[in-house]
Amino acid sequence: MSLIDKIKTASDLDREKCEVPEWGVEFYLQSMTVAERERYEERLYQSKGKDGKISLKGLRTRVIIACARDEAGNAAFTDNDAPVLQSKSGIVLDRISNQALRISGLVDADELKEMEEN
């Protein structure tokens, strides 16, 4: 088997169950592929305000949409679902998005702890 064939067949995406008792649902959060991560980051940079700072508006919903999967591994949400997610509890979305950020390697455990404290 060639090197590229080995890479193609390697399973390197992390996946964790995400239980949301407030909604009575569970789904999976899967680490982003490079393509998904680049799209996520590109959308962050496109959201810069007039002051040149990256807007955090929609940050939580974008990371959840990028990482949420059903049992079969298909995307659980689309961009069209963002308004529904944005209408839900900030505490709940913080918990889910923090798990998604961690599993995707966008924050480490120390950064996550600091974010939760602030």
Q: Is residue 108 part of a domain?
A: yes
pLDDT at 34: 93
The domain in which residue 32 lies consists of 13-117
pLDDT along the chain (118 residues), means of 10: 93 95 97 92 79 81 96 95 96 96 82 61
Q: Which of 28, 31, 35, 29 is nearest to 12 (CA)?
A: 31
- The answer to pTM > 0.75 is yes
Domain count, the chain: 1
- What is the token pair recorded at 100? 């998604």
Quote the pLDDT of residue 107.
Answer: 78
**CB 48, CB 91: distance < 8 Å:** no
Domain annotation covers residue 20: yes
Q: Would you state the pLDDT for residue 114?
A: 67
CA distance 12 to 94: 25
Report if residue 98 sits inside a domain.
yes
68-69 and 25-30 strand pairing: antiparallel
Element (H, E) at 19: strand 15-20
Three-state secondary-structure class, residue 76: coil
What's the confidence (pLDDT) of residue 108? 67
CATH number reported for the structural domain that contains residue 105 in this entry: 3.30.2220.20
Query: In the prediction, which pLDDT does 112 show?
Result: 59
Close Cβ partners of 65 (under 8 Å, ≥ 6 residues apart): 75, 77, 78, 79, 81, 82, 85
